[in-house]
Amino acid sequence: MAILQIKNLHVSVDTDQGTKGILKGVDLTIRSGEIHAVMGPNGSGKSTLAYSIAGHPKYQVTDGEILLDGENVLEMSVDERARAGLFLAMQYPVEIPGVSVSNFLRTAKTAITGEAPALRTWIKEVRESMDNLKMDPTFSERNVNEGFSGGEKKRHEILQMELLKPRFAVLDETDSGLDVDALKIVSEGVNRAHTANDLGVLLITHYTRILKYIKPDFVHVFVDGKVAEQGGAELADRLEAEGYDRYVKA
């Protein structure tokens, strides 16, 4: 049983108009096997939370802490966080010209586990995961995210999550831009990793649509850089009916 704690997190970014506070005291605790949905209107700081957990240099933590089994995550570099078991499925994965998916996956797996995976079992594992996500085998020969459709990029993110087996995964609007078929495929991937690895999931989403396929244990409503309300899955149903207006006006 692992535990990821976010305590009183304050984060700011540098803008042309000076430093701007985005997160204003976030408290969240996620345990292995739990699925937490973070929902909120645009600009509420959902993606900032995701990037801050992963350690993107653009985001400065000005107060608070993030602890993984008591270890100070904020002192770790981006790659150390990944090796400690944190994973961020990105909303806008970048293209890396000249680096093939197969080379990338093998390099990442080697980095995470500290040794190169046995070739034969690794190839089999990659093929099975790609098969599950309905990805064409030629996909592994393409360059990372280069010329990928929106749906392919998201599947590729989930593929990495299944293969790298993190302890906690933050999914940053993984549902955005997906049609229903792709949404189902991606959701099944998340559910598989959740079951297989007792994965803790922080599911960041603007819409309730994905929650039909991934059942959250907890729902947190994010407004203006803070958790405005939290509850169980029923809170998502209420948001579906009422939208965010209630929070934004308040």
Partner 1 sequence: MTDSSANVQHGLIEHSHGAGVPLQIRSDRPRSKSVSDFAAIDQRQDLWRYLDSSALKGLDADVLAEYKNEVQFAETAGVTFTWIESTDSRVGLIGLPEDRVAAAAYTNASKTLLVEIAMDVVLVEPLRINIVGSSNTASALHLVIVANKFSDATIVLEHSGLGVLGENIEIDVQDEAKLNFVSVQNWESGSSHVAAHYSRLGRSSYLKHSVATFGGDLVRITPVSTFTGSGAEVEMNGVYFADAGQHIENRPFVDHAAPNCKSRVTYKGALQGNKAHTVWIGDVLIRVVAEGTDTYELNRNLLLTDGARADSVPNLEIETGEIEGAGHASASGRFDDEQLFYLQARGITVDEARRLVVLGFLVDILQRTGVEDVIERMTSVLEDKLGRS
Cα distance between residue 56 and residue 171, in whole Å: 15
Subset of 106-165 contacting partner 1 (CB under 8 A): 107-108, 111-112, 143, 160, 164
d(Cα 139, Cα 131) in Å, to the nearest integer? 11
Distance of CA 186 to the CA centre of its chain: 12
Q: Which residues face 229 on adjacent strands?
A: 221
**Number of residues counted as binding partner 1 (CB under 8 A):** 28
Q: Shortest gap between Cβ of 93 and partner 1 (angstroms)?
A: 6
Does 96 bind partner 1 (CB under 8 A)? Our answer is: yes
Residues in Cβ contact with 100 at an 8 Å cutoff, skipping those fewer than 6 apart: 140, 141, 142, 143, 144
Taking the least distance from each CB to partner 1, the nearer of 159 and 203 is: 159
Smallest distance from partner 1 to CB 74, Å = 15
Return the number of other C-beta atoms located less than 10 Å from residue 132's C-beta. 16
Q: How far is the CB of 223 from partner 1 (least distance, A)?
A: 27
Binding segment for partner 1 (CB under 8 A), chosen from 79-87, 188-196, 200-208, 235-243, is 79-87
Q: Which of 37, 39, 88, 190 binds partner 1 (CB under 8 A)?
A: 88
Complex with partner 1: residue 82 or 130, whichever CB lies closer:
82
Cα separations in angstroms, 189 against 61, 122, 128, 131, 132: 32, 18, 12, 11, 8
What CA–CA distances, in Å, run from 72 to 69, 80, 85, 165, 246? 9, 11, 13, 21, 36
57 binds partner 1 (CB under 8 A): yes
Which residue, 78 or 180, has its beta carbon nearer to partner 1?
Answer: 78
Residue with Cβ nearer partner 1 (56 or 226): 56
Does residue number 83 form part of the binding site for partner 1 (CB under 8 A)? yes
Name the residue nearer to partner 1 (CB basis): 142 or 209.
142
> Which tokens hold the place of 200?
């803790």
Nearest alpha-carbon partner for 170 in 105, 241, 73, 71: 73
Per CB under 8 A, residues contacting partner 1 are 54-57, 77-79, 81-83, 87-88, 90, 93-94, 96-99, 103-104, 107-108, 111-112, 143, 160, 164
